[in-house]
């Protein structure tokens, strides 16, 4: 992001003063300023968050998908737009506060609880990137977690609905949607629903487009 600076501070790239008339760039993560001419070496575009990140933040950054960071910055610049920054900020904070845990750590933090009850209802989402390659490893990981998720949602199964019954998971019923047309990768959805739950399929909301 490039704009005009109204106060003087040090450039994160060259460490020289930023003057009021200097075009500037800003790190969307820590808001550190840099001369626009220094930004090519000091800032990198992060596709996961759809934003520009400085080298310092990049080194200490935990990679996670958060497209709302860039919307927060754009919203602050566009003073005439309706204020939706609170919604973006809340969504951004949820994604930024996510913890990375392996199955052992997860079991320690979240002891086993009964699946029944709204307070214990949770969903596991996994972009599986192909059932053929990764379904067995997903089942092994799910089995290693003490808490059983009522719903397991999969994206990018890369298979058609007719092949869904080939991929069984103990304790779950499955519902599949076919991949898009002739697209071999990057489409296809599935839900694994606990056998303890009753469900029905609303076809009008079940179109993969």
Domain ranges of the chain: 2-96, 103-205
pLDDT digits 0-9 by tens, 20-38 = 888 989 998 888 899 999 9
CATH architecture of 2-96: 2-Layer Sandwich (3.30)
Question: What average pLDDT does the structure give for the chain?
Answer: 82
Which two three-digit tokens encode residue 110? 């979240």
pLDDT digits 0-9 by tens, 44-100 = 887 766 788 888 887 776 667 777 776 665 555 444 444 557 888 888 888 888 888
Is beta strand 151-155 parallel, antiparallel or unpaired with respect to 189-194? antiparallel
Contact present, 120 and 113 (Cβ < 8 Å): yes
pLDDT digits 0-9 by tens, 114-133 = 655 556 688 999 999 999 99
What predicted TM-score, i.e. pTM, was given to this entire model?
A: 0.61
């Amino acid at each position: 992001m490039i704009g005009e600076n109204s106060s003087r501070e040090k450039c994160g790239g060259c460490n020289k003063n930023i003057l009021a008339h200097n075009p500037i760039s800003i790190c969307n993560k820590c808001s550190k300023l840099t001369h626009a001419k220094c930004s090519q070496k000091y800032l990198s575009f992060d596709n996961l968050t759809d934003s520009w990140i400085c080298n310092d933040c990049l080194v200490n950054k935990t990679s996670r998908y958060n497209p709302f960071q860039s919307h927060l910055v754009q919203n602050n610049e566009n003073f005439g737009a309706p204020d939706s920054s609170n919604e973006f900020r809340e969504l951004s904070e949820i994604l930024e506060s996510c913890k990375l845990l392996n199955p052992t750590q997860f079991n320690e933090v979240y002891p086993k609880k009964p699946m029944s009850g709204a307070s214990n209802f949770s969903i596991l989402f996994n972009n599986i990137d192909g059932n053929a390659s990764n379904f067995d490893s997903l089942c092994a990981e799910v089995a290693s977690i003490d808490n059983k998720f009522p719903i397991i949602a999969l994206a990018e199964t890369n298979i058609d609905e007719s092949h869904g019954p080939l991929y069984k998971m103990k304790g779950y019923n499955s519902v599949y949607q076919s991949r898009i047309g002739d697209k071999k990768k990057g489409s296809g959805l599935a839900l694994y629903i606990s056998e303890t739950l009753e469900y029905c399929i609303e076809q009008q909301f079940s179109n993969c487009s």
